[in-house]
Structures are given as C-alpha cells and as structure tokens.
Amino acid sequence: MTAITGVGAYAPRFRISAEAFQEAWGQFQAAGISEKAVAAADEDALTMAFEAAGRALEAADVDAASVDWLAFASSRPPLAEEDLTARLGAMLEIDETATRHVFAGSTRAGTRALWAGVDALESNSTTGLVVAADAPQGDPDDGIDHAAGAGAAAFVLELEGPAEIVDRAEYATPYPGTRFRTTGEDETQGLGVTQYDRAAFTETIGGAVSGLETEPDVEAAAIQAPDGKLPYRAAGAAGVGTDEIQAAATVHELGDLGAASVPVSLASALADGFGSVLAVSHGSGAGADALVVESDGEVPAEMNLESDDTLSYAEYLRQRGVVTSGPPSGGGAYVSVPSWRRSIPQRYNLEAGRCPECGALSFPPEGACSSCGALSEYEPVQLSGEGTIEAVTTISQGGAPPEFAEQQARSGDYAAAIVALETEDGSESASIAAMGTDAAPDAFAVSDRIETTIRRIYTQEGVTRYGFKVRPAE
C-alpha cells in the first residue's frame, strides 16, 4: 500500500493582515482569515515547490536521485505552457529519466497529483515525490484576492512507511462559473452567487466522501479552504465535526492556498501527529477528491509556515508588481537562453570546478584558472549550499542593473554579497557573487553564516531565469 514517508511545507515570509485590507478598501471580504501569506517579488509556485520538496526529501531521508516519479501541481503555474517538472527536477537533482507529470487548471490539482502518485506506486514506481504550490490572485477589490495566500507542500511516497493512504474516492458534476480564470487573464474570477457556490462545494465534497469504502472516523480533516468559513459549512457533508476541521486548518493564518490548500493542511496535520486524517479537495467545475491517511507513528516532517514579517497594503501591491513603473528602457546585460542553460549546473546545483594543475576551486568552472592560469578542463566539485559572507553591500533604488531593476522596484532594497560557499565536507570553499533574499539587507553582515535557495533572478525575452540566492542560515 502506498505510504507517505516524509512531508515538507513552506509559506513565504511576508504576511498581510485582514486589518490592512479593511483600511484600504473599507471592508475585508474573506471571512475567517486573520492574515495571509504573500509571495515575495522573486517567488512563484515553482520556487515555493522547490522549498517544500527539499524539505520533504530531507525529512524522509531520501536521495533525490532515487525519485523515479515526480508530480508538480498548481492552479497558477508561472508559465501556462511549459513542463515545469523539467526545471523542478533539475533544481532538486532528480534523475533525468524519472517520470514526470504536471497538474493544473483547478484547485483540485494537488490531490489529483497525490491520486496519480498512488496509482504510479501501485504499478511500477518505487519512490514518488508529489509537490503542490500555489499563489492565487483575483481583482484587488474582490473576495478571491482578499483571501488569496501562497504556500506549498510536498510528500515523499514509497510502498511502505508511517502514513498509509488507505482509502480514496472522487466525485464530479458540472457547476460552471463557480471559480474560473479565462485564457490570457491573470486574475481568478467567480460569479459570486453565494448559494450556487456553496451548493457546488458541499455537493462535490459530500459526493467524494460518500464514495469512500468505509465511513471515515478521523482525528483531523483537511478540507479545501477558499476562505475561513466554507470548510466548516461542509462539515456535515464531509461527515466530520468542526473540531476536526480546525485541527488541520491553515487558512486562518495563510489564506486560500488554491491547489496547495489541502496538501498544506494535510502536511500540517501529519506533522502535528494526528493518526488519521481525511483530506478532501474541491475544484471549480466542479469536482472533489477524498483521501484517508492513517499513521501508526511519527511522520518525518520539515515545516516552515511561521512568520511575523508583516506588510502594509501598499507594500503588498508593490510585491505583486501592481504599483511599480515596469522595466527600464535600455536592456542591460544580455544572456541568451542557450547560454543560461549551459550554466544550470552552477545556478541550480552549485557545481564548481577544481583545476587539475594546481587544485584550486573556481566558480563558475570556466576560463583560465584564477590561481595558476591553466586552461585545462575543470573537475566537477559539488558545493554544499552553506557558507560565510565575505563582503556585502546594499542595492537601492536606481542602483540595480537594468535586468534586475523591475524586481528591485517590487522587492525594495536587497543585499548583494560575496560569499564563500563550502564543499560538502566543509574543508574548502569557493568565493561567489550572490543576491540576498528572504531578509532585509541589514540582516546580512560579514562573517555571517548563509545558505542558498532558488528564486527568480530576472525575466528576459519572456523567459524567467531561476538560480541560487543566499539568505541568513536557519
């Protein structure tokens, strides 16, 4: 039977409160939400997926190279037409031959991915990784946007483990117009017919739960949460009480996580030690999945959902890019997509090179050795992603190179540093220039410890370049 052997979850550090929306609009249209998580200017569903997936693999003590089935789910992938599992797999160092699937188009996508993962392991796969990440958006003066949060969850699936997926069922019936995003549009919309929306939600959730082989008797229930009240209205249809929903709920502090709503709540419930969890998604259209997970012990988990870094409403709009002036004229440094692709081992996986003549490390591993001048081919050396700041400065308005200016206008001042990234055994290091993220510039100082993560670097020719940045070590 398919089991969850490790979970990871991630939410961006920024938060905005219901009071901030109330002050800006005179009302807050997302019932039951006190604050929500906000993706930073250099974050999107792909970078959040990377954060959650790395934590799940670490929790499960599974080498990414052993993953032979990978799924990525989001109702708002950064690109409408590209297999983002190729980039995600490269970021995580999953083997190029692993089977990959993308699930999108619905807030139900996260549980669809879990469902497919169970099927894969029941056929011929041995280790699966399911990742759901989302950051919904709506029109600014709309309940969908007031509720819209950001976050990600990931699950390592194996044939045996501490948390087994013991039952599952699905249900679908047409309810057009409950929640949709038309082709070419950025904002999710809804007709706003309250009774119609509730009917779709409760019927599909009830239909999925009633399809389970046995009536669930669970300690926690992870129910799709478009706001902080609708999951509780579906308690009767799901056959659970409000206490069970409250036990798994993340919507009150993180907001509506779209396709990651149920996965993040499920991850949270397993991390909190609940022995039996019902997970029920809902996707507009309308359909639902119900899964029952039973645990006979502690499920390894690495969670990062807490933060107190609050934004004003104006700062929120700036992070989203609503109130910035756009890219400057004049271009900046041009790096072609083929050239960028050749540097992916360095930008994603921190691959340095050792000079075969003198043994010095170089990053990037190209050109003449800076120590001895030799032009021999470098020997690959993996850096660890941890190190120390050697020098640091702050890039302020007007100081960013043109290719970074649009992001700088959204994110504000950022740190630029020279860091000594260490080898896996910590015995050597290579000096590397890097952008800071996840903290204000004054949080970076010489001799401070840092770690790397992957974020958006900039977009050129319509193609977003992702690569490593550094942040204060946890």
Contact 463, 337 (CB under 8 A): yes
Give the 3-state secondary structure of residue 380. strand
How far apart CA 132 and CA 112 sit, in angstroms, is 10
Q: Which of 195, 112, 179, 111 is nearest to 145 (CA)?
A: 179
**Are the C-beta atoms of 3 and 159 separated by less than 8 Å?**
yes
pLDDT (tens digit, 9 = 90+) per residue, 358-392?
Answer: 999 999 998 899 889 898 899 999 999 999 999 99
Query: Which of 249, 72, 85, 248 lies closest to 155, judged by CA?
Result: 72
Per-residue pLDDT reduced to its tens digit, 217-260: 999 999 999 999 999 999 999 999 999 999 999 999 999 999 99
Q: Is the pLDDT of residue 324 over 80?
A: no
Residue 325: pLDDT over 60:
no
Mean pLDDT of the chain: 92
What's the pLDDT at 103? 97
**Pairing relationship of beta strands 309-310 and 14-17 according to DSSP bridges:** parallel
Whether the Cβ atoms of residue 223 and residue 245 lie closer than 8 Å to each other: yes
Q: Which two tokens stand for residue 48?
A: 């959040």
What per-residue confidence (pLDDT) applies to 37? Answer: 97
Residue with tokens 């309810």: 175
Contacts by 313-320, CB closer than 8 A, 24 or more apart: 313/16, 313/20, 313/21, 313/23, 313/24, 316/14, 316/16, 316/20, 316/38, 317/140, 318/409, 318/410, 318/412, 319/14, 319/38, 319/39, 319/40, 319/41, 319/410, 319/411, 320/38, 320/137, 320/410
Q: Please state the rounded mean pLDDT for residues 434-454.
A: 96
Q: Which pLDDT does position 363 carry in this prediction?
A: 92
Question: Is 0.75 surpassed by the pTM of this model?
Answer: yes
> H or E stretch including 388?
strand 379-395
Partners of 435 in beta bridges: 416
The confidence score (pLDDT) of residue 408 equals 79
Q: How do strand 379-395 and strand 351-354 relate by DSSP bridges?
A: antiparallel
Report the distance separating Cα 264 and Cα 257, nearest Å: 8
- Residue found under tokens 């050749």: 342
Instruction: Specify the pLDDT at position 291.
Output: 98
Instruction: State residue 371 phi and psi, 5-degree precision.
Output: -90, -45
Assess whether pLDDT exceeds 90 at residue 188. no
Answer whether residue 327 shows pLDDT above 70: no
> Which range has the worst mean pLDDT, 2-16, 82-96, 181-195?
181-195
In single-letter form, the type of residue at position 381 comes to V
| Measured distance CA(392)–CA(419) in Å, rounded | 8
pLDDT interval class at 328 (50, 70, 90):
low
Q: Confidence band (pLDDT; 50, 70, 90) for 59?
A: very high
Residue 428: is its pLDDT beyond 90? yes
What would the mean pLDDT of 329-335 be, rounded to a whole number? 65
User: For the chain, what percent of residues have pLDDT higher than 70?
Assistant: 98
User: What pLDDT score was predicted for residue 183?
Assistant: 83
The pLDDT value given to residue 409 = 80
Predicted local confidence at residue 356, as pLDDT: 93
- CB-based contact 203:321 (threshold 8 Å): no
pLDDT in tens, 78-101: 988 899 999 999 999 999 999 999
Spatial contact of 323 and 313, defined as CB atoms under 8 Å apart:
no
Cross-strand partners of 160: none
Position with higher pLDDT, 216 vs 352 = 352
pLDDT classification of 295: cutoffs 50, 70, 90: very high
Binned at pLDDT 50, 70 and 90, residue 297 comes out as confident
- Which pLDDT tens digit goes with each residue over 125-160? 899 999 999 999 988 888 889 999 999 999 999 999
* Residue (of 89, 107, 61) closest to 204 by Cα position: 107
Task: Tell me the C-alpha distance between 189 and 284, whole Å.
Answer: 11
